[in-house]
Structure 1
């Protein structure tokens, strides 16, 4: 029973997708399972009063998850998600997870934030500071999951000796790109809000879609992805107008 808990309900919807996942979409399981566990972790952090405005974080986190579920269900599949979903089946589990995280954070997260922050809210500096701090607190929750998720991925199949040697560096890189991408997400949210006020939101969202898709395409290049991203960055940045 979810007892009306919105986070628990969206986690149950993710589990339903996992239970009903068609064989041709089996490679989507890696990101979906990771996302289900991290969403549960955010719900636990809300229960532990780790946010200044837990009610707002709860609504925001559900909005965020719904954008992924829409893409997964084929309701609205933007180019970053098309690239992530169409990645080769033989890609390692970590690769599929990174593709999903990248598409979801770079493209979906600014939209989720704008769904729960009104234009009037942007005029209140104290409120926006609280929103930004809660946005940044998510990093702590996700960083705590890095080692556990690495263990979950290790259980999906054998790893090379190089992968074992690089695991500590990969964890450091993961935490670094979480912080870096979240800072860029906040910048992009502000840029999209300005566009919303100016009546050019769809145009700017289209620009974000192009940038996000390009970053997903970069992840599809061969090589040690996490190490490369530690240098080049994980996020994307909308240029000013």
Structure 2
């Protein structure tokens, strides 16, 4: 399993996920769906790193650790008696437990990509890195290459989720379309995440207060997107119309 620079590795993340998965009580079985999906995806990312799929594998490994920790910290906060996870995660975790597994996964993906991913990128791209166009382009390309890993998991994860619950007729009809649409959703999300990362980096340059304001904006936008996905109806069709991600508006 790939090692990330520093004190923690992707192996440590996988161990942490596995411990949390094993420790979830039966009444929180809905939490298992996204966590198990994320565990398998993390293992796929590690395999891709070891397979030389990225220009800077050490950076991708470090990024993956920071990214996963944001979700796992939110999950542990939700499990703690007095924990307070960020608003997008609080809404996702509070979703009805009888939602279909696919809906549970989409809620988790949306919160994690829209709210956590820009923060994770900032955690492993310094302000000096942002000032280096050659290095920044390399980071952007590796960011894009993650899409290939995720797209490679779509069919397997859809089969896994299908095995957990019977699909309605409309879901079965939409499955091929959903798999084709996944690439578009990933591309759209990646572009929006990169925009939001740049906006947060500009705020970081302006100081802690400015950054806190912009992060609060992103939290609010991401939470609103989760609330939209919790509305009744065919969520995948709604995503196809409204799009996947959120966009921080430029500072006036």
TM-score interval, smaller chain: over 0.9
Q: Deviations over 1:135-190 (max 9, x none)?
A: 00000100010000000001102111221111111112222111101110000000
Kept in 1, the 8 Å contact 2:2–2:50? The answer is: no
Q: Which moved more, 1:72-81 or 1:148-157?
A: 72-81
1:156 aligns with 2:156: no
Q: Which moved more, 1:220-229 or 1:193-202?
A: 220-229
SS at 1:155 equivalent = helix
Residue segments in structure 1 that go unaligned for 5+ positions in a row = none
Work out the CA distance in 2 between the residues paired with 1:119 and 1:134: 18
Aligned pair count reads 240
Residue segments in structure 2 that go unaligned for 5+ positions in a row = 78-82
**Residue equivalent to 2:176:** 168
SS at 1:73 equivalent = helix
1:71 aligns with 2:74: yes
Work out the CA distance in 2 between the residues paired with 1:69 and 1:123: 31
Match of 1:40 among 29, 35, 43: 43
Match of 1:129 among 122, 137, 155: 137
**Residue equivalent to 1:194:** 202
Work out the CA distance in 2 between the residues paired with 1:16 and 1:129: 36
SS at 1:216 equivalent = helix
Kept in 1, the 8 Å contact 2:129–2:136? The answer is: yes
Match of 1:234 among 227, 244, 247: 244
Work out the CA distance in 2 between the residues paired with 1:69 and 1:160: 31
Work out the CA distance in 2 between the residues paired with 1:79 and 1:22: 23
Kept in 2, the 8 Å contact 1:173–1:227? The answer is: no
Kept in 1, the 8 Å contact 2:2–2:10? The answer is: no
SS at 1:235 equivalent = coil
For residue 28 of structure 1, report the CA deviation from its aligned partner.
Answer: 0.7
**Residue equivalent to 2:80:** none
1:13-162 map, 5 Å = 13-74=16-77, 77-162=85-170
Provide the aligned C-alpha RMSD in A: 1.3
Q: Deviations over 1:97-133 (max 9, x none)?
A: 0000000000000000000011111100000000000
Match of 1:180 among 184, 188, 204: 188
1:203 aligns with 2:213: yes
For residue 16 of structure 1, report the CA deviation from its aligned partner.
Answer: 0.8
Normalising by structure 1, what TM-score? Answer: 0.97
Work out the CA distance in 2 between the residues paired with 1:126 and 1:4: 25
